[in-house]
Amino acid sequence: MASSGFQLLKRTLGNRSTAARFFSSVSSTPIRATLFPGDGIGPEIAESVKQIFKAADVPIEWEEHYVGTEIDPRTQSFLTWESLESVRQNRVGLKGPMATPIGKGHRSLNLTLRKELNLYANVRPCYSLPGYKTRYDNVNLITIRENTEGEYSGLEHQVVRGVVESLKIITRQASLRVAEYAFHYAKEHGRERVSAIHKANIMQKTDGLFLKCCREVAEKYPDIKYEEVVIDNCCMMLVKNPALFDVLVMPNLYGDIISDLCAGLVGGLGLTPSCNIGEGGIALAEAVHGSAPDIAGKNSANPTTLLLSGVSILRHLNLHDKPDQIQNASSTQLQKGSTELLILEVKQRQPSSPMQLFIISKYVLE
């Protein structure tokens, strides 16, 4: 079981370039990264992640920023200008769960981050963790979702009473950008196939444009196989045999649904890391679950998602052996079936944090 798990992880990592190998072990100058602990259970799990990274000797120096209590007029939200500047400078960030304050007159926190940092792609690697058994054992895919336009443009209006129109916008620029990133990612991580998911048989011009852009980019990467799959086929194939897919690239709405579907295949949002890529190589990893205020401060939150998201930052920075170590440790810990970490939905009240930390640190240091 352990060896097959290890094999799976090795396959996940793919073929690393020699340059990456050169960077992997010795990196003396610490890399600065912005950390948003967030609300609710955020600060605890952020603390866990910091400790685990320290135990693994990860050369990252964290710069913490908190959500303000007042609206910053420069950003029109509770995130301060300084926080955003810090991410822009450091180029990498890790974000814990943030509760959006209710009310008007300010933008939602996620929207602010997305617009200000121009985060155009959302990357979610989904792989079956050996140690957490679901009905699907061989999931190993990455979903890349266009994050800025599509059906989520927010442009709706009521034409007459009882008739509402909502606009879906697809632009060549955004589609090219996300397709470029998808193929670049596939090449970097040794992936063999990129599948574009669409509904161009019905939405001929909009999804047709998306597909055209994907095809153009595919021509520049001749050694990566490219295919197009209609979304109904994709859904069906995913639930029957997820091993058929490798990297998926999609417009906004389909991406939202498919990435959550894939998260469900491996065990839920409690196990899925997520990383947002912005213009200029900015990477902001986040925990996609909620802030669970009811278990905050009780030392029972599950840091796995934030930990795995942190690991994806390390991969983005081409530090490849540390992610292996940490990932192996958390998989081993899962595999040992420790009662501390059985249910991976954040809402569960299982005392897991301190024990898990201890066990992971133990494995990491060995």
Partner 1 sequence: MGGRSIAAGSMKLKGMVKHAIGSGRSVTYMPRPGDGAPRGVTLIPGDGIGPLVTRAVEQVMEAMHAPVYFERYEVHGDMKRVPEEVLESIRKNKVCLKGGLKTPVGGGVSSLNVQLRKELDLYASLVNCFNLPGLPTRHHNVDIVVIRENTEGEYSGLEHEVVPGVVESLKVMTKFCSERIAKYAFEYAYLNNRKTVTAVHKANIMKLADGLFLESCRQVATKYPSIRYNEIIVDNCCMQLVSKPERFDVMVTPNLYGNLVANTAAGIAGGTGVMPGGNVGGDHAVFEQGASAGNVGNEKLVEQKEANPVALLLSSAMMLRHLRFPSFADRLETAVKRVISEGKYMTKDLGGVSTTQEVVHAVIANLD
Q: Which stretch in 1-9, 69-77, 169-177, 294-302 sits in contact with partner 1 by CB under 8 A?
A: 169-177
Burial of residue 335 (CB within 10 Å: 0-12, 13-18, 19+) is middle
C-beta of 190: minimal distance to partner 1 in Å? 27
Indicate the residue among 166 and 339 with the shorter CB distance to partner 1: 166
Q: Name the residue nearer to partner 1 (CB basis): 170 or 357.
A: 170
4, 233, 299, 339: which one binds partner 1 (CB under 8 A)? 233
Between CA 185 and CA 203 the distance in angstroms is 27
Distance CA 358, CA 325 (A): 15
Q: Is 158 one of the binding residues for partner 1 (CB under 8 A)?
A: yes
Under rule CB under 8 A, which residues in 258-277 are in contact with partner 1?
A: 258-261, 263-265, 268-269
Does position 216 bind partner 1 by CB under 8 A?
A: no
Candidates 13-21, 68-76, 249-257, 319-327; binding stretch for partner 1 (CB under 8 A): 249-257
Q: Which of 172, 220, 298, 362 binds partner 1 (CB under 8 A)?
A: 172
Binding to partner 1 by residue 157, rule CB under 8 A? yes
Residues 6+ apart with CB under 8 A from 172: 209, 213
Count interface residues toward partner 1 (CB under 8 A): 56
Closest CB 90 distance from partner 1, rounded Å: 30
Q: Which is nearer to partner 1, 8 or 269 (CB)?
A: 269
SS3 213: helix
- Angle of helix 321-335 relative to helix 353-365, nearest 10 degrees, comes to 130
SS3 254: helix
Rule CB under 8 A: say whether 231 interacts with partner 1: yes
Question: CB 198 → partner 1: shortest distance, Å?
Answer: 8
Tokens 């997520």 label which residue?
274
- Work out which of 105, 154, 222, 280 binds partner 1, going by CB under 8 A: 154
Walk across the sheet containing 140-146 and list its strands.
60-64, 31-36, 92-95, 282-287, 273-278, 119-127, 140-146, 247-250, 193-198, 225-230
Told to check if 25 binds partner 1 by CB under 8 A, we report: no
Fill in the amino acid letter for 192: E
Please name the residues in contact with 122: beta carbons below 8 A apart, sequence gap of 6 or more.
144, 145, 147, 255, 259, 274, 275, 276, 277
Angle, alpha carbons 194-199-214 (nearest 5°): 35
Q: Does 243 bind partner 1 (CB under 8 A)?
A: no
**Contacts of partner 1 in 109-148 (CB under 8 A):** 134-136
CA distance 219 to 197: 17
**Based on CB atoms, which residue is closest to partner 1, 145 or 322?**
145
Element (H, E) at 285: strand 282-287
236 or 365, CB closer to partner 1?
236
Tell me how far, at minimum, the Cβ of 10 lies from partner 1, in Å.
26
Choice between 156 and 366, CB closer to partner 1: 156
Smallest gap from Cβ 18 to partner 1, in A, equals: 39
Answer for the pair 213, 176: CB distance below 8 angstroms, yes or no: yes
The residues of the shown chain that bind partner 1, judged by CB under 8 A, are: 134-136, 151-152, 154, 156-158, 161-173, 199-206, 208-209, 211, 228, 230-233, 235-240, 253, 256-261, 263-265, 268-269
